[in-house]
Amino acid sequence: MPVVGWHASHEQIPPSQLLRDIQLAEQAGFHAAWSSDHITPWSTRQGESGFALSWLGAAMATTSIPVGVVSTPGQRYHPVVMAQALATLAEMFPGRLSAGFGSGEFMNEHITGDPWPDKATRNARLKESVDVIRALFAGEEVTHHGLVRVDRARLWSLPEQPPRMLALAVSEATARWAAEWADGLVTIWQPAGMLKRIVAAFRENGGEDKPLAMQVHVSWAPDDDEAESIAFDQWRSNVFEAPLCWNLATAEEFDLAAKYVRPEDMYRSVVISSDPARFVECVREAVDLGFDEIYLHHVGQVQQPFIETFGRDVLPALG
């Protein structure tokens, strides 16, 4: 049976409610969880954005499942600050923490007032940041002068086992590059042909034995019309491909960009159904493509009915 996890979307749900939701997800039988990490939501309709690194401490203290976080060191977070935060969590909760690192989105990073680099520069900055973080996890004192700058930094509270550092990739090129340095890969649900190419690019360039994880955006409700309505209300600002989604600055800009998105457009990026069997099929398709871990993100703001239904009708069917 694959690892089937639940995704905590800070952009949509207050952190206090997300804390109750992750506890419910563990009780329902989800094997793990992942968390987003935003300073702003994708839409004013979503309307939340708690601080994930604070929330992770509470979430891990009140559950026993592995938990990961998707984030970006290099601009909003100095890599030394990110390393200290992750090391503290990993020391308190051994073997349970993962971090998924990507090159970031302008919506989160522009708050520093620094220029927004092009994609190649952001990738280079991410690689420098990961190198700094790994060296700090190894107990080294780090000084570095490059796209990020570090002066005589050292972590004094270290975990016995550093957290996994996976790369976020939605294209073949990024997957190929990330295979050289990441402990694994995280991608999103896409057409099977694209996913096969992403997996092959990662496997063929150094990722042969590394784990593959996938986030799947889903919308479940007791009837199909309601499931579609939830997806359209909450996730229509999230349907844009790169580079547009990388370069918008505010929730209001995303809402403006989504002005002409139609309900039927949601099916390209969200698995929408009232039938639990459709989601069983979706997870099995991901496993057949080689993914070890599948994290389901119900795009609605109310999680309890989804968690309970999947705990009863989806997870047991995958055993």
Which positions are annotated as active-site residues?
A: 38, 105
Q: At what angle do helices 276-288 and 304-313 cross, to 10 degrees?
A: 70
d(Cα 115, Cα 109) in Å, to the nearest integer? 9
List of residues 6+ apart from 197 with CB closer than 8 A: 172
Cross-strand pairs, 218: 271, 298
- β-pairing, 149-153 vs 142-145, is antiparallel
d(CA 76, CA 299): 25
Widest pairwise Cα distance in the chain: 58
CB 217 within 8 A of CB 12: no
For CA atoms 255, 256, 261, 262, give the dihedral sign: positive
Pull the structure tokens for residue 286: 């991901």
Contact of 102 with 168, CB cutoff 8 Å = yes
Contact present, 49 and 11 (Cβ < 8 Å): yes
Cβ(316)–Cβ(248) below 8 Å: no
| Residues 126, 118: Cα–Cα separation, whole Å | 12
Half-sphere exposure of 129 (CA within 13 A, CB side): 29
- Phi/psi of residue 92, each to 5°? -75, -30
Residue type, 317: A
Strand partners, 97: 67
| Nearest C-alpha neighbor of 53 from the set 89, 11, 21 | 89
